[in-house]
Chains A and B, each alone.
Chain A
Amino acid sequence: MKNKKPKSVFKEGAIASEFIGNSIYKHQTKTSIGAHNIFLGQVRADEINGKTVSAIEYTAYEDMANQKFHEIRESAFEKFDLTCMHIYHSLGTVKVGEICLFVFVSSPRRKVVFEALEFIVEAIKADVPVFGKEIFEDSSHQWKINN
């Protein structure tokens, strides 16, 4: 049974570097932590058939995506000795060079956070129904596919 609705991971637009910095700052009071690890997904200016990507516009099946993020979180806490974990993903338009995914894991020890972060990011890429439309500089587009 899904008795409580998981909190939303989505943020409208790019994830600001101030927000990321502030998230790190907020962990200063959690003194059992000895290691943080952070993944930042950035929109890349891919060149495809002579055209350059200028932004990605993200949409999602939000209810299912939040449920999947919740499941990934639960299994990460089960598998790894994590103190805390935060995930934020953009919706809407994110320009090249801006951040669209922010994953932040913390643990008493460093080895755990390296493994946990990879597990979480790979699960997000494979299992969460988010769709990226790559917008080119001439306003044409194509749909991105994760590999």
Chain B
Amino acid sequence: MHITIKYFGQIAEITQAKEESVEFSGHLISELLQVLNTKYENLKTIDFKVAQNQELVSIEKELTGGEIALLPPFSGG
């Protein structure tokens, strides 16, 4: 399935990209994260939340396709 992964803040510094598109055959968000952890080693050092199609979700959720965003701690205001 086709997934666009978006990176923000400190995470975009680690990935050196704001987004990327991937074809992924796994089922769970956690499986996608495993791939990203291998690709970007320093990802493990950062606390982040995951949003699927703009809703915060547990990483044990099924991937539905569309947009996955890795969100470091919020610091608006």
User: How many angstroms between the C-alpha atoms of A132 and B6 in the bound complex?
Assistant: 17
Q: Is there a chain B Cβ closer than 8 Å to A124's Cβ?
A: yes
User: How many angstroms between the C-alpha atoms of A64 and B10 in the bound complex?
Assistant: 18
User: How many angstroms between the C-alpha atoms of A14 and B10 in the bound complex?
Assistant: 22
User: How many angstroms between the C-alpha atoms of A125 and B75 in the bound complex?
Assistant: 7
Residues of B whose CB lies within 8 Å of any CB of A are: 6, 8-10, 51, 54, 69, 71-77
The answer to whether B76 touches A101 (Cβ under 8 A) is: yes
Residues of A within 8 A of B9 (CB): 59, 131, 133, 143
Out of B6, B10, B54, B75, which one reaches A146, CB within 8 Å? B75
Which residues 95-147 of A have a CB within 8 angstroms of B? 100-101, 121, 124-133, 143-146
* Smallest Cβ-Cβ distance to B11: which chain A residue: A131
Of B10, B71, B77, chain A has the most CB atoms within 10 Å of the CB of B77
The answer to whether B69 touches A64 (Cβ under 8 A) is: yes
The answer to whether A146 touches B77 (Cβ under 8 A) is: yes
The answer to whether B51 touches A146 (Cβ under 8 A) is: no
29 pairs, CB–CB < 8 Å, chain A vs chain B: A58-B76, A60-B8, A60-B76, A61-B71, A67-B54, A89-B77, A101-B76, A121-B77, A124-B77, A125-B74, A126-B74, A127-B74, A129-B8, A129-B51, A129-B74, A130-B74, A130-B75, A130-B76, A131-B9, A131-B10, A131-B72, A131-B75, A132-B76, A133-B9, A143-B10, A143-B72, A143-B75, A145-B73, A146-B75
Residues of B within 8 A of A146 (CB): 73-77
* Smallest Cβ-Cβ distance to A66: which chain B residue: B54
- Extra contacts besides A129-B51, A129-B74, A130-B77 (6): CB < 8 Å: A41-B77, A60-B76, A61-B51, A124-B76, A125-B77, A127-B74
Residues of B within 8 A of A63 (CB): 54
Query: Knowing A129-B71, A131-B72, A143-B10 touch, does A64 contact B77 (C-beta < 8 A)?
Result: no
